[in-house]
Structure 1
């Protein structure tokens, strides 16, 4: 059994990307998250055996049904780590490996996912770092380690791997490292995201990007 199931945990649309609130209104942030989720699922569908979206939000689950992926209702009171564990528990008798992926990495399509998935079939622990010290991809046997998503989760997942006797393989991808949290991240999508749903949505909003030399690398603009 070589199946790999992708697990995508998704928070409530109404809580979507609050750090972008000075730049995007709530409805715009919700539509942004939908666009990113569409990009992620579209990329994964041809290379994994199933995609499971787990959420406590009815609206998220309804949207996931439109994307034609499996859905799980998150148990009440769970946090991100326990929600992922719930999904892994559901998967553990159905698949050999799970690929835990965030919903906000729309440039995943620019990564050689086919090669990543194929190599992971022979590896017990593959991890993709995010640019801020987090984890933007994790391929493991279901429930083989405790989930440590949160602050500096990359380092903490490596510790979990070592503690449980796994030899962690790091898959370093510029495109997968780019999760969207702040306005500057939108600029990266505008620069690198040609053809993706998320870039198309940002273009609809008339988001602009300029290169600057200061505390930030990019200046993000939109019409008043």
Structure 2
């Protein structure tokens, strides 16, 4: 099996603004870092990891604990890039092409706290020049690029766009359907799934912030309270 390079795009400034009804700005930053920690734990067994930063944090040493924790055996690099998501990732893909494409590339979003190493093993076992793990609402949560011809186009219905882009290039596209990989965190209601199914740093942080599961609403979906 070819080696895999993992890229995690990450933005700390104004992190997770749609959670502002339930979390302060500082709490949202803490949540973003907790989710990044869980994602690193999930992907670190695949290969070297690059955290692609949109805006470097103002606090020095923000990532020191994340990348030097016991049990993390991958090389973890921090790469600052002021570009928006698509041009930043496509520039990184181009750089890998110029290097001779030494490793396949897995792009993993930083807000997937339920994802586990076993999920990624299944994804890596899925055939295709490109393998996509869709998110809810038509987004792309993970994309494994095995053919260097492929480029990304996030935002909007990126899952369908990526399928069409692969077809236009004559590439085979695999789809990896996964509850855990499909559960990204954007809205307050998404925190329910983290509290129910999460096992890492993210639910631990939410509990420390005073969140708990309470009650039952229609179709037996739990609610969170604080």
- In the other structure, the counterpart of 2:57 is 59
2:17 corresponds to 1:8? no
2:191 corresponds to 1:191? no
Deviations 1:155-213 (A, max 9, x none): 110000110111211100000100000111001100011x2110100111121234311
Matches within 5 A, 1:64-213: 64-68=63-67, 69-74=76-81, 76=82, 78-92=83-97, 93=99, 95-109=102-116, 111-117=118-124, 119=125, 123-141=128-146, 143-193=148-198, 195-209=199-213, 210-213=215-218
Report how far residue 65 of structure 1 moved.
4.6
Moved more, 126-135 or 140-149: 140-149
Moved more, 48-57 or 107-116: 107-116
Find runs of 4+ consecutive structure 1 residues off by over 6 angstroms.
none
Assess, with a 3 A threshold, how the Cα gap between structure 1 residues 203 and 70 changes in structure 2: closer, same or farther: same
Superposed CA RMSD: 2.2
Distance 1:10 1:114 in 2: 23
Structure 1, unmatched stretches of 5+, are none
Contact 1:107 1:178 in 2 (8 A): yes
- In the other structure, the counterpart of 2:27 is 28
Which TM-score applies when normalising by structure 2? 0.86
Structure 2, unmatched stretches of 5+, are 68-75
